[in-house]
Amino acid sequence: MKNMINSVYGKYILFGIALCLTPMLQSFGLISSATVTIFGTIIFYAIVGIGLNVLLGYSGLISLGTAGFMGLGAYISAYLTNDMKVPFIISLIVSVTIPLVIGLIIGLISLRIEGYYLAIATLGVAEIFRQVFIEFEVITGGFSGKSASYPKLFNLIQLDRALTFILMSVILVIIMILTNNFIHAPTGRALLTMRGSEAAAQAMGINLLKYKLIAFAVATLYAGLGGVLYVHFIRFAYPSTWSLTLSLQVLAIIVIGGMRTISGSIIGSFIVFGIPELVLKRLPVIGNIDGLSFIFTGILIITVVLFYPRGLVYFGSDIKKAIRSKKAADVSFKK
């Protein structure tokens, strides 16, 4: 048991099991149904955050188009399952493949442009998507939105809300494990080398094109997956959801949580999408402010960047270290 807690996989799996217990707490009446929805939100944004973390944290490339790719996954899956009656699993595969292919094309563009220009280009792509979501009413339902249902696995098992939540937790844990594996392997090291110095990367035989494509593919694949889970859990998608604000919130997840860590994306997602709803909105007076969560995220980004640039994921271990060194200092003082 102790081994399990200490290994990375063990931690991820225990975390997943703990997450799966959330719907049960609701059935015992300990937490409200709205709280479960918030935790669900945290899960799919955590997945999207991990993808952006691979892109920005490891390969150093930026994308402000995250929301567009999420929306793309969401609408395609809603259309396929609802209108075309395609089984959920197949719809899931198609709905993450299309964002992935478009991500690869943007990866090609990223060879030519960098930095701010790449950010603007990806932002442009996302805005095009948003416009398409509004105009392409046959598939997206336009301004009135598109509804979807809880997933039905293998055309047999119709999931309810609690089971959908558990399915999302399982997918999150799988994503965490897979990402952890390839990040601590040649792929992760190659991405980091590319971020540090393209010249050094080339001298070491790292094909820049290949790894830029991989980074974009991972980010857009995870964003598409997050979108699919979104639409089948929330069961509704509006075009206004997939805006720049959402992309910036996903960016906030990894800045606040911590770059280049998987658990950082989870913590960040909890802080950005959980804290405002779970805590702040329940406070007197402050809770009534419009757009409170954006103010909160904004202030937090500034604070973290100024005082804790590595991200809040290191908060716990830093406190432990501080306590330990204080203890050591006390002991030597007494001597």
Shortest gap between Cβ of 98 and other proteins (angstroms)?
A: 19
Indicate which single residue of 178, 302, 328, 329 sits in contact with other proteins (rule: CB under 8 A): 178
Tokens of 188: 């992760």
Residue 140 touches other proteins, criterion: CB under 8 A = no
CB of 178 to other proteins, least distance (A): 4
Among 72, 214, 221, 231, binds other proteins (CB under 8 A): 214
Q: Which strand (E) or helix (H) includes residue 233?
A: helix 208-234
Structure tokens at 330: 């006390």
Using CB under 8 A, pick the residue from 14, 34, 108, 204 that binds other proteins. 204
Q: Which of 176, 201, 219, 229 binds other proteins (CB under 8 A)?
A: 201
Integer angstrom CA distances of residue 237 from 18, 78, 157, 182, 302: 28, 9, 24, 32, 31
Question: Is residue 260 a contact point for other proteins (CB under 8 A)?
Answer: yes
Report residue 185 as tokens. Answer: 């392997």
CA geometry: angle 278, 284, 287, nearest 5 deg:
50
Q: Residue 261 CB, nearest distance to other proteins (Å)?
A: 11
The H-or-E segment that residue 195 falls in is: helix 186-196
The Cα 272–Cα 256 span in angstroms is: 8
Nearer to other proteins by C-beta: 86 or 192? 192
Residue from 189, 244, 281, 294 touching other proteins (CB under 8 A): that is 189
Which residues, 293 to 332, sit near other proteins by CB under 8 A?
A: none
Burial of residue 99 (CB within 10 Å: 0-12, 13-18, 19+) is: buried
**End-to-end C-alpha distance for the chain, whole angstroms:** 39
3-class secondary structure, 237 = strand
Whose Cβ is closer to other proteins: residue 8's or residue 244's? 8
Kindly indicate which of the ranges 197-205, 280-288, 294-302, 321-329 contains the residues binding other proteins, using the contact rule CB under 8 A: 197-205
Q: What is the greatest pairwise CA distance in the chain?
A: 79
By CB under 8 A, name the one of 98, 206, 278, 280 that touches other proteins. 206
Which residue of 17, 84, 153, 203 would you call a contact of other proteins, by CB under 8 A? 203
Query: What are the residues binding other proteins (CB under 8 A)?
Result: 178-179, 181-182, 185-187, 189-190, 192-193, 196-197, 199-208, 214, 260
